[in-house]
Amino acid sequence: MDVVTSLSTWLRGCLSGFGIITREFPEACQIPLKEWTNSGLKSLVRNYGDIFDVVNDQILFLLRKIEGSLLALPWWLVILLIVMVAWHASRSRWLAVGLALSLIIIGMFELWDDTMRTLAIMLIATTITVLIGIPIGILMASSKYIQAAINPILDGMQTMPSFVYLIPVVFFFGLGNVAAIFAIFIYAVPPMIRLTNLGIRLVDAQVVEAAEAFGATSSQILWGVRLPLAMPTLLAGVNQAIMMALAMAVIASMIGARGLGAQVLRGLNNGNVGMGLEAGLAIVVLAVILDRITASYGRRLDYSQTA
Amino acid sequence: MAKIDVKNLYKIFGPRPHEVLKHAKKGAPKDEILTKTGHTVGLTDISLSIEAQETFVVMGLSGCGKSTFIRCINRLIEPTAGEISIDGRDVLALNKSAVKALRREKMGMVFQRFALFPHKTVLQNVAYGLNVQGVAKDERQERALHWINAVGLDGYEHARPNQLSGGMQQRVGLARALCTDPEILLMDEAFSALDPLIRREMQDELIRLQKELHKTIIFITHDLDEALRLGDRVAILKDGRLIQVGTPIEIVTNPADDYVRAFVRDVNRARVLTAKSIMEKTETLPIHTSPREAAKIMTLQHRALGVVVDNDHRYRGIVSMAEASAAIKRGENDLQGVVKERAPTIGPDTYLTDLLSLSADSAEPIVVLDDSDLYLGTLSRSAVLTALAGKSDIDDNHIGSDSKGLVETPEDTGAAG
Ligand SMILES: Nc1ncnc2c1ncn2[C@@H]1O[C@H](COP(=O)(O)OP(=O)(O)O)[C@@H](O)[C@H]1O
Ligand SMILES: [Mg+2]
């Protein structure tokens, strides 16, 4: 009732506003999106605040666990683990040696702990992105109408300046790591969704038809044929998501994320170019490591290329 | 009851197929419908039935609707109108899950471009149908291995499809389709993507397998030689219409229209025509016939040779007019003394290509006998040559018929066609 009466008053005011010809845009015709958004957010927090708290606590708990163990392990063991994963993914000696060297250089910059903190945030943000992005991508691939509905939302998410959604994220989760993780998620999830959708749609229609001809159900086709064959594209999505996430590292630190981004920010505030450069290089190293590992896995799973 | 019965089947591609169906039913041609309505006619009024255990070939040029037809059978494509029944069951009335069950239980399909699962091994590919059925892993592997061996791929079970040659990939495709032991095999241009030699090899493989398996096979091809080689019956499509259905011999010797005639003009008739289809059945001479009577019959038939049989109608040999006359002079009272087994004999299903050298080497006509030596007919050299040249239109009652009576001389038939 409330909404209807306020809407009708606004409409009436708006119509009468257009009746008078003035230089200024008629005041009565303005859409108060600001107020609507703010009151909407407020009521969200008022009604579902508990849920946000629970989510906040869970993520924080996980983050502490991962960050804690990464920091507790001796540096050489962490390097060894990363090198082993890289080896498993690529079977390339040069990549393994290169990654080990660059990680050692990070240690020499005295940025080891901050790198581990950033890595922990990246791991969690990417995991959430993947867990939410892939199902949405699958949904999007299931119908052209859903695709048409989701696409503009993704466009909006990617073109909207990231500062705009930093505000509501902080509103819900307060300043800190969790808010940063969510900001990263919003920025990183569109490529994950898009590439999942694309990967599934690009699966050879003849192969899918073959599965259908043998009477496979939709879920048998999805899990047994579409997803495995979409894997290289899916991993390209994971790769993109990680790159987007790292690109957000500095911006995320503005709302309280710790780690390398915070170092860059401190360098910026103090006019300390060297400090910013060191932290920036460490971010690049992290990006290269994660990129090479995911890209190698993507190539390994591409059955159309390798024999 | 036929295994698969298709009645008045239509398929129209486009956003509003049912509106366009009216035009198609009135007989508007495919290109007119396309220009007027933007809809593509896939199939027009197809009615045919496919018997259990036969190899039914559907042939036609690219775009004539072959793939559409075969996909209507398992409803990978939904027909616009018409009826399809399998074992008397209305397939188009089935709901989605019943269609899936039908595909799982009754049908296997082989594709032109193989359409193997690139991420699975040969073993997993072949076992896919059983996997979908929910068969336990051990049984699945055992049955898959059996079929991998049956198509001659032993030792390749752990290879991936892209490690195999085209011919081998299609063997995997064939094994995959056979692994669930389906009654119906749908093969959409299964061998068209293969080199001629490999293709021939695969055709032999299919013929060999079918001798043991007795599946109902729908085989699509655009290659007439392949159609005639594999098909028990062949259906010819043109622009979505059924032009002719018949045995290979009927198609080659009695093309329904100019379209089919153009198709069969270059066909190697020697590979299609059998002894049975071109033999002449002459009146036989029982062994106890008097030489005088024999000479009279031969004269009446305008023949220089007679076929002699014993009391059980078993073939005994031939006798010439000259020999009969000699026997008359000697006063013999049956043909015992003059009959000679000098003519070559063959079975009724021998292809012309296999009896050409016999015919060339022998001055006598070739005698066609069945398994128990009962006389079926004779083949003169000129009859063989006429059939090869494609001049004689062999009429239906001639094919495998028992009609006695006189046979036209080759010179007479030569004028026809
Ligand atoms: N999904 C489709 N949408 C529109 N037209 C189609 C579709 N599939 C087939 N057609 C058309 O239907 C006709 C028959 O196609 P098809 O059955 O694939 O022919 P064939 O297998 O004999 O080469 C062709 O004109 C083709 O363009
Ligand atoms: Mg086709």
B350 by DSSP, 3-state: which? coil
- Atom 6 of ligand 1, nearest CA residue: B13
Q: Does A213 touch chain B (CB under 8 A)?
A: yes
**Secondary element (H or E) of residue B259:** helix B258-264
Q: Read off the pLDDT of residues B76-101 as tens digits, 9 standing for 90 and up.
A: 999 999 999 999 999 999 999 999 99
| Coil, strand or helix at B285 | strand
Q: Do A215 and B103 touch (CB under 8 A)?
A: yes
* Predicted confidence band of residue B104 (pLDDT cuts 50, 70, 90): very high
- Beta-carbon count within 10 A of B22 CB: 9
Distances (CA, A) of B188 to A19, B7, B69: 70, 21, 10
Q: Is residue A32 part of a domain?
A: no
Which single residue is written with the structure tokens 């015992």? B336
Q: Tens digit of pLDDT per residue, chain A (307 long)?
A: 577 787 788 778 777 777 767 777 777 777 788 888 888 888 888 888 888 888 889 999 999 999 999 999 999 999 999 999 999 998 888 999 999 999 999 999 989 999 999 999 999 999 999 999 999 999 999 999 999 999 999 999 888 888 888 888 888 888 888 889 988 999 999 999 999 999 999 999 999 999 999 999 999 999 999 999 999 999 999 999 999 998 888 888 888 888 999 999 999 999 999 999 999 999 999 999 999 999 998 888 887 654 3
**What is the pLDDT at residue B411?**
39
**Top-confidence residue, A111 or B409:** A111
Note down the domain range covering A87. Answer: 49-300
CATH number of the domain residue A243 falls in: 1.10.3720.10
d(CA B344, CA B359): 8
Q: Does the Cβ of B66 fall within 6 Å of ligand 1?
A: yes
Tokens of B32: 């007119």
Token readout for B36 is 């007027």
Cβ contact (<8 Å) for A212 and B105? Answer: no
User: Phi and psi of A216, rounded to 5°?
Assistant: -65, 145
pLDDT at B407 over 70: no
| pLDDT tens, residue by residue, B215-268 | 999 999 999 989 999 999 999 999 999 999 999 989 988 899 999 998 888 787
The 3 state secondary structure assigned to B23-64 is HHHCCCCHHHHHHHHCCEEEEEEEEEEECCCCEEEEECCCCC
Q: How many CB atoms lie within 10 A of CB A171?
A: 15
SS3 state of residue B16: coil
Within-domain flag for A39: no
pLDDT attached to residue A168? 84
Residue B302, phi-psi category: left (phi > 0), alpha (psi -120 to 50), beta (remainder)? left
B109 and A210 in contact by Cβ < 8 A?
A: yes
Structural domain count, chain A:
1
Contact criterion met (CB below 8 Å) for A294 and A242 = yes
Amino acid B392: pLDDT: 47
- Is the CB of B13 within 6 Å of ligand 1? yes
Does a structural domain hold residue A128?
yes
Q: Is residue A23 part of a domain?
A: no
Q: Answer yes or no: is A267 within a domain.
A: yes
Determine whether the shortest distance from the Cβ of B62 to ligand 1 is under 6 A. yes
For residue A78, being part of any structural domain is answered with yes
Q: How far is the CA of A202 from the centre of ligand 2 (A)?
A: 21
CA distance B383 to B400: 16
Distance A268 CA to ligand 2 centre (A): 65
Residue with CA closest to ligand 1 atom 10 = B42
What strands lie across the sheet with B305-309, from one edge to the other?
Answer: B284-286, B305-309, B315-320
| CA distances to A142, A157, A222 from A145, in Å | 9, 19, 19
Out of B12, B13, B44, B66, mutate this one to test ligand 1's pocket (max ligand atoms within 8 Å of CB): namely: B13
Q: Is A142 on the interface with B (CB under 8 A)?
A: no
When pLDDT is averaged across residues B366-374 and rounded to a whole number, the result is 89
CA distance B22 to chain A (A): 30
Residue B341, pLDDT score: 84
The answer to whether the CB of B317 is under 6 A from ligand 1 is no
Q: Does residue A12 lie in a domain region?
A: no
Q: Domains in chain B and their CATH numbers?
A: 50-267 (3.40.50.300), 276-413 (3.10.580.10)
> Distance, in angstroms, between A213 CA and closest chain B CA?
6
Task: Confirm or reject: Cβ of B347 under 6 Å from ligand 1.
Answer: no
Q: Which of B103, B113, B160 lies closest to A214 in CB terms?
A: B103
The C-alpha of B68 sits at a distance from chain A's nearest C-alpha, in angstroms, of 13
Q: Which atom of ligand 1 is nearest to the CA of B237?
A: 22
- Long-range contacts of B167-172, Cβ-Cβ distance < 8 Å, separation of 24 or more: B167/B194, B167/B195, B167/B198, B167/B201, B167/B202, B169/B114, B169/B116, B170/B110, B170/B114, B170/B194, B170/B202, B171/B202, B171/B205, B172/B114, B172/B116, B172/B122, B172/B125, B172/B126, B172/B148
Q: Give the Å distance between the CA of B189 and the centre of ligand 2.
A: 7
B chain contacts of residue A204, beta-carbon cutoff 8 Å? 115
- At residue B175, the pLDDT reads 97
Query: What is the CA B250 to chain-centroid distance, rounded?
Result: 10
Encoded tokens for B251: 């198609």
Please answer yes or no on whether A214 and B101 come within 8 Å at the CB atom.
Answer: no
